[in-house]
Each structure stands twice: as structure tokens, then as C-alpha cells.
Amino acid sequence: TSADKFTIIEGCSVSKARTGLLQLSHYVIETPMFMPVGTKGCMKGVLPEQLEELDVQIILGNTYHLGLKPGPELLRKAGGLHKFMNWKRGMLTDSGGFQMVSLLKLTEITEEGVQFESPYSSSNPSTASKGRKKWKSSTGTEKAPGSPRADGEAVVPSKDLMMLTPEKSMEIQNAIGADIMMQLDDVVSSTTTGPRVEEAMDRSIRWLKRCGKAHSRADEQFLFPIVQGGLNMTLRERSVSGILEDEYTGYAIGGLSGGEAKNDFWKVVDASTTLLPKSKPRYVMGVGYAEDLVVCCALGADMFDCVFPTRTARFGCALVDAGQLNLRLKQYASDHTPIDPTCKCLTCQRYTRSYLHHIVTDIPTAARLMSIHNIAYQMNLMRRIRNSLRVNRFPEFVTQFMQNRYGDKEIPSWITDALTSVGIVLTRDTQAVSSDSIDSQSDRKKRSADGEETGEQ
Amino acid sequence: MRYLFALRSRMTEVRQKTDFLRKEMEFSVNEVSSSEFPVIRRGVLKLRGQSGQECQVETPGCFFHTHFGSIPHLTPDDLQYVKDSLSCIPLNMTLSTASVFADALAGYEKSVGAFVGYPSSVVYMSLHDPLVPLKPAMNEKATIGIWNRTGKKKLTPEQFMDMQDKLKPDSVQIMCDMDTEMEGSSNQRLTKSYDSSLRWLDRCLELMKDRSSHYPVLATVGGGSDPWRRKNFCLEAANRKVDGFVIDGFGSGWIAKWKEWEVTGSSLFGPHEALIRESIRSLPKDKPRFIHAPLSPTAVVQLVRMGVDVFDTSYPAALADRGQALIRTGDFCFEVWTMSEKGYFDDLTSLSTRCGCYTCEKYTRAYIHHLIACEEINAGVLLMIHNLNEYLKFFRDIRKSMDEGKFHLWMPQAEAGRQQADRD
Ligand SMILES: [Zn+2]
Ligand SMILES: [Zn+2]
């Protein structure tokens, strides 16, 4: 059944890029697709209707945060996060494991799960309790300590420790009710080497099987496995073959975007997409810079997420093809042009850089306006990629994009290497192709394609 | 018995011919007095913007309170969820925040309304943001101080008019010295405030005559806590060519004090009540009276009864800032709910069962509680949308009750509403 959820509409005749449709419970998303991160049950500063207006088709929620607030119990009672937050389209939740590693003092990873210090114990002594207890709900009410493992509940051996198990992650993610859930994986830093990488990779596969067993809503929510193995291609290969023992709707490539060299990054993405089945969507976790998105698409990736576009917006940085504009800088004080004259978002239609410069650090509305533009930028970029693929002009798009981005500066070698490896050769004297013409051609084609597909959607 | 006096005037017609460049601000009002109620004023205030857009404000009514030109918490497209449209609600910008972008507007071709994201709005520029506490000791003999994030900016009448010329609003509150103490300002200080304010008013009017820019202007009725000075100030201001009046100048911190009085319930405006009555009695009936403060429905009803016409939406914004919702619990009753309270954690009903706004239709109390617990700015957005709807509907209902001869119904229930609000 999972086989027919993903339809490839067009593949690039040169690179590994492709555009397709992924049918989820709540929405059919177009790929390649970027997923903005709405950590705690909302997109900071952007209302769901505004996200729809920006053509956002799927958002990401964080299981760790949602598990604490408002907690799985209330989410179940509310009929899932979609209903709770008034979001009608696609949603993906992470496993919660990454947040524990990055936000909390991690004490130990055992075969049982990820053990960490309770976020409550040190700062709020009133909520710390003695003895074993379950995952705390955010009402502040403690539940009676349950039997340790039989019910799959997380238990803690001492008052300051909590544990996230694959079963617990699934339970919370089932309560959230996202269209796509991620397996709990054993996360190691992407720069780690040695036997720990192998251990984490093997354990992630064992945890995947436990996740699959604990998953209670398999018909509504797709479980995505995560390919691990650090920067070691042999381990990546073993990870993929372990994962492929069962069939899944889509696959994630994890353990990247953690400070590894870009040269290592693209090689792992490239190797992983080659190993994974061609007929399934591939999700590269934690990727959000425009050039990374373009390169990863060329390497055959279909889905991405990153907090960067929305986080940088709140600090006053606007994304444009040529890079970023830091609107806090004085040079924008009397700049009466929009962030991007070609952008159709509310912010660019209504506001100048000058006004944004004057309010950017002072009022919450500024964070809203900046987030709206940056999400619009990400969505436009993905749409341009999809449109160029539909008219089989992806290599031209990539060439034009990199020229716009780097201008007279040299294009980083990892980008030229990565693109060359899939047959897109960037040269200085490449005939400049107007991205406008690609966009308008593909719009025409898209319109006719949309006409044919209406029945299907 | 009730009908004593009705009046209608077109201010533009009585203006001197030299004022032909002046943009229009028309006010027509029906004022009815009775033995039970001092005044019931029901009117229409027409404003015209630079690009020819018109704005008809039904009074009693309110303008959009803004901060740095933005309606707090909202992006312009959120106004689709607010029943009253931009064509009947002008933007009330404040010089204290707008001054930061006055210089930037020099090379800007469109209106200040367009600059802040509301191109179709008519803009009125008042002096201070009612939600930012007035800093004391800022006025000197020749200048007023405007506080913004870069610190204190001193303005002479010339500089004040220069700044207005850069900002180009559609109407202006003239600078005045409001920096007296609530109580205990010396006679000397009060005299200085009185003299400066009148002198500045005259100077600004004079400056406008010499310049190409003309704005409908509002004079601020000050005079501190001294009834004699207030009355005289009103009479003096009424003799000048101004289009309306702002009731202010009760001394620094008056807004906070009013709130305190309202909560303790002794008297809504404390000793200021007599001052307001005196002020208003001395003002011409055919010109609009403004007040800039975050006022609860109870306070609004009282002030409307005293003859105030125009308010602003700083109250719903102030509530949203604090994570509070204005809830109508009866035809004439309001409560203020603090959404961070534990009881809302798993309350999956809509915010208000009688409201029906975007927030009430799409979200639950539990969700708003959750957003506040996570310190998400979306909490303020959803609360602001609801509070604005509730507040603007309240004004519609006041007007409707006047039109139907039922304004008196607001009184006892409003008192009850106040007491209920106190309990929260
Ligand atoms: Zn934009
Ligand atoms: Zn409502």
C-alpha cells in the first residue's frame, strides 16, 4: 500500500533530481518540498491561513517540546495537533531524540532509550519527585509510577532522570497525529568517528523495529526510518540494507548538518540517495540554506526541514537569491524598495526595507513580517525547482541560480564537485538562462498538468 | 423632556478662504441632554487622506492604536478577521514612535500610511503612545520632549511642524506641555504648563498658515489638576481655529492611576471626574473630543456619558500584551480573563461562545493557554484579533443603543460588569 503514495511526475534527464507528489493523510504535497519548523504547535508569528497563502504544504513539529507542553494526553483529547492548532495540511514530527541531545544534559544512551536530565528538576524543584516516574505531563500533575517497561512507558531510575524510548516516542507521535513520524534514532554528532558511529547505526535499526511494533496508527501516519552511519559509506550502506528489510513510505537521511565538512555532507547525501529505492521520497534532515537545497535536489533528495529561515527572520535577516539582507544595518534606513521586488508575499507587497529596518528589533509584528517573507522565499525556491524539473530545465535553473547567488565570486568547490558528480557542470561562460523564462514555461506546462490532475487530487 | 439640544455643523464651510489647502475633517453630531443623562452625543467624523481616501468614523467610536505605525500583534491581512473595515477606522499613529522614521520618509513617495503598511488608511498623529508610560520632566520652556528608543528628542514648535511635514499625516494633535504632576504641582509649574501649551498652539497654527502643509488639528486640553485653569484653557482653545480637542494633561501617570481607581471601584476617574466634566462643559459642542488611553468598556461608557466622542484601541492591545481576553458575558457585561490561568489548560471550548470571530471559531482556550505557556507571539495575535472584535462590537452596540434610545440601559449593567471584572 505504501508503494503508491509517492508518484514521480518528472525526473531530470541529467541529474538525480525529480519532482513528484506524496499523498499524505491530510494533504498531497509536491516534492521537492521544504518544511518550515513550527516547534511548539504553531509557526512563530505566522497564522495557518497565512502559511496556506504562502503555499506551505507541510510543517514540522517537535515531539520533545509537544510531549512536555501541552503533552500527549491533551493532544489526544483535542483530536490531535492538526485540530488543536488549526492546520489542515501535511505535518511531520521528529522523534524527540535530537532535541534531547541538543537541548538537555544527556546522561546516557542505553539499549532501552535516551536517558536525560529532567528539564524540571534543577530549575523547578517542586516538580522533581523521588523514585521512578513516568513522562511528566505539563499540567504539573504527577502520574503514579507505573510498571517499568511492560507498557512501554518511559521510566527513570532516579529523581532527576527521564528516558525517551522508541515506544514512548511513538506514543507521543501517535497522540500528535502527524502525517509522517520519525523513528527514534541513536544520534551521534556528525563529526564523531570510531566504533560509537557503528553502535549508533546498529542501534538505530533495532530501535526502528521497536518503533514499528509500537506504532498504533500505521494506516494514518507513515513512519520514516532514518539512515545513519556518520560519514562512513560502508556504515551508511549497512544502515540502508537494515532499513530496507521492511517497506516504508519514505526514508530520511540523518546524522548530517552537524558541522561536518560540506565535502563530506554532499557525498553522504549522494551515496544515501543512490542506495535508497528510487520510487520513495527521501528526506534530508536539517537542510535549509538555499544552495544546500538546490544541490540536494540535484542529488535526488525530495524533502527538507530547517529552523534557519524562520529563526534568522526574527533576527532581522531577509533571504534573497543573492544571499541575505541584514535589515538591522543602517544602509537600509532610507531604502524604499521591498526586500525582493519580485516576491509576491505580504511583506514585499506592503513594506519597504526602510520600514522593516526601523521596526525590526522593536515590535513582534516585525518578526511576523520577516518570517512571512523568508517562508515565501523558501517556498518560491522549491517551486522554481519543481517548475524547472517539469520542463526538464533543471540544469539550466541550477546554473542560473548559482550565478545569481555568487555573482563574480567563485562558486564553492563542494558545490561544483557535487553538481559535476550528477552531470551538471557549472562553467563561467555558461549561456545565461533567464530564470524568468524557465518559470513562465513551466507555469504553462504546470497549468495544463494541473488540469489533468484535478481529478486525482 | 429628554430632547433639549441638537446641533449639526460642517466645519469646513466656516473656515477662512485662506485655508483652502487644508484637508478636510468634518464632524456632524447630534447631542441630546436630559435630566438623567448630561449628554448623549451621536455623530459622524469624516476624515480625508492625501490620496483622496475617505474615512467615516461613527461616534462614539475609536481609532486604531498603533505602535511604530503597526497595529500591535497584527499584520495588515489579519484585519480581514476584524469586522469593521479600514474605511471607518483611521490609524492613530504617535509622534513618539513615528519620529524614528521621520527622516527616512523624506525620499518616500507614498503616504505615511502606506509606509507602515496601511496605504488606504487615513492617519491621525497624536503625541504619545498611551501604552508607553510618559517619562517625567521632559518639557522645557521652548520645547517638548518626545521619547523614543534613541532617547529624548526635544522639539520646538518649528521642529514639531517640520517633523509633521516629513511624516505628512492627515490630521495632527498639536504639541502641548502635559508634564505636570498628578497632584502637588506648584502654581508656578501649572502656570508654565498652561502658558507654554497655549503659546505652542498659537505658534503651530501660525506656522501652518505660512507653510504649504495644512492639517486638521486637535488642541490638547490641559491645565493639570486645577479646575480653574482647565476651564480657562478650554475656553481659550475653543477660540482658536482647531478641529477638535484631546482631553489630557492630568499629570504624568494618569493612565495608571485611572486603572487603579477603576479596580478599587471607588470612583472611576477619582478626582479627575470633576475635571473632565468641567473641561467638556467649556468646549464647543460641534467639535469632536478625543481621549487617548487604554479604557475598559466601563470607563468608555462613563466618558461617553460625559461627552467624549473618539477613543482608541489601546485597551484590547494592552490586554493582548498581557495574555488577557476581553469577554462579553452578557449584553452589557464584560470580564477580563487571564488565559495563563491553570484552569484553561485543558479547556477545549472556544474562547467566547458568543463572539464568533476568527479566534473563537478556529481555536480553543486550551490552545491559547498553550501558546502563552510557550511564550509564543501567536498568543498575542489570536487574543488581539478577538479583543479587537469584542471592543469594536462594543462601540457598535453603544451607537446602536443610542440610535434606539436605549443608551441608559448600559448604566447599571456596566457597573455590574465592572464588579465582575474586578473579581478576576
Ligand atoms: Zn517577500
Ligand atoms: Zn472572539
In terms of Cα–Cα distance, which of A112, A222, A105 is closest to A166?
A112
Residue A382 near chain B (CB below 8 Å): no
Residue A106's pLDDT is 64
% chain A with pLDDT above 90: 74
| Annotated binding-site ranges of B for Zn(2+) | 355, 357, 360, 386
Query: Using CA atoms, how far apart are residues A97 and A62, in angstroms rounded to an integer?
Result: 10
Does A351 sit within 8 Å of B77, measured CB to CB?
no
* Spacing, Cα A421 to ligand 1 middle (Å): 33
Phi and psi angles of residue A109, each rounded to the nearest 5 degrees, phi first:
-110, 120
Identify which of B67, B100, B107 has the shortest CB distance to residue A336.
B107
CB burial of residue B20 (10 Å; 0-12, 13-18, 19+): exposed
Q: A272 is written with which cell numbers? A: 544515501
Identify which of A44, A85, A333 has the shortest CB distance to residue B104.
A333
Query: Using CA atoms, how far apart are residues A365 and B97, in angstroms rounded to an integer?
Result: 15
**Chain B residues within an 8 Å CB radius of A350:** 76, 117, 119
Q: Which of A329, A365, A368 to mutate to test the interface with B (most CBs of B within 10 A)?
A: A365
* Spacing, Cα B362 to ligand 2 middle (Å): 10
Does B70 sit within 8 Å of A363, measured CB to CB?
yes
Does A69 sit within 8 Å of B346, measured CB to CB?
no
Identify which of B68, B73, B362 has the shortest CB distance to residue A362.
B68
| DSSP code of residue B364 | B
At A295, which helix (H) or strand (E)?
helix A290-298
Does A45 sit within 8 Å of B115, measured CB to CB?
no
Does B106 sit within 8 Å of A365, measured CB to CB?
no
Does A139 sit within 8 Å of B345, measured CB to CB?
yes
| Annotated binding-site ranges of B | 355, 357, 360, 386
In terms of Cα–Cα distance, which of A205, A213, A197 is closest to A239?
A205
Identify which of B100, B106, B362 has the shortest CB distance to residue A358.
B100
Q: Count Cβ–Cβ pairs < 8 Å, chain A vs chain B.
A: 114
Phi and psi angles of residue B370, each rounded to the nearest 5 degrees, phi first:
-60, -45
Amino acid letter for position A424 = I
* Spacing, Cα B96 to ligand 1 middle (Å): 29
Q: Is B95 in contact with B125 (CB distance < 8 Å)?
A: yes
Q: Which residues of B have a CB under 8 Å from any CB of A?
A: 67-78, 100-101, 103-104, 106-109, 115-117, 119, 149, 342, 345-346, 348, 362-364, 366-367, 370-371, 373-374, 376-378, 380-381
How many Cβ atoms are within 10 Å of A212's Cβ, its own excluded?
A: 16
A359: which residues sit within 8 A by CB, 6+ positions away?
A365, A366, B68, B69, B70
Residue A19's pLDDT is 98
Lowest-pLDDT range of A80-94, A413-427, B247-261, B333-347: B247-261
B152 vs A350, higher pLDDT: A350
Residue B417's pLDDT is 46
**Chain A residues within an 8 Å CB radius of B72:** 363-365
A395: which residues sit within 8 A by CB, 6+ positions away?
A12, A14, A15, A423, A424
Residue A355's pLDDT is 97
Which domains occur in chain B, in start order?
30-321 (3.20.20.105)
> Residue A439's pLDDT band (boundaries 50, 70, 90)?
low
Residue A139 has pLDDT above 50, yes or no: no
Residue B16's pLDDT is 38
Q: Which residues of A333-363 are buried (b: 16+ CB within 10 A; e: fewer)?
A: ebbbebbbeebebbbbebbbbbbbbbbbeeb
Residue B382's pLDDT is 98
Residue A438's pLDDT is 54
A329: which residues sit within 8 A by CB, 6+ positions away?
A357
Identify which of B77, B149, B370 has the shortest CB distance to residue A50.
B77
**Which residue spans within B190-296 are E strands per DSSP?**
217-221, 244-247, 289-290
Read out DSSP for B125-184?
Answer: EESS-TTSPPPSS---SS-EEEEETTEEEEE-HHHHHHHHHHH--SEEEPP------SS-
> Residue A141's pLDDT band (boundaries 50, 70, 90)?
very low
At A272, which helix (H) or strand (E)?
helix A262-275
Amino acid letter for position A374 = N
Count of residues making up chain A: 457
- Nearest ligand to the C-alpha atom of residue A369: 1
Q: Is B130 in contact with B65 (CB distance < 8 Å)?
A: yes
Query: Using CA atoms, how far apart are residues A57 and A450, in angstroms rounded to an integer?
Result: 16
Residue A131's pLDDT is 33
What region, left, alpha or beta, does residue B10 occupy, with left being phi > 0 and alpha being psi -120 to 50 degrees?
beta
A31-56 tens-digit pLDDT: 999 999 999 999 999 999 999 999 99
Does A40 sit within 8 Å of B377, measured CB to CB?
no
How many Cβ atoms are within 10 Å of B82's Cβ, its own excluded?
A: 22
Task: Give me the sign of the Cα torsion angle B60, B114, B294, B255.
Answer: negative
- Please identify every stretch of chain B with a pLDDT value under 50, giving residue numbers as ranges: 1-21, 413-420, 422-424
Amino acid letter for position A407 = G
Q: Is A40 in contact with B376 (CB distance < 8 Å)?
A: yes
Does B78 sit within 8 Å of A47, measured CB to CB?
yes
Residues A415-425, mean pLDDT to the nearest whole number: 97
* Spacing, Cα B356 to ligand 2 middle (Å): 5
Residue A344 has pLDDT above 60, yes or no: yes
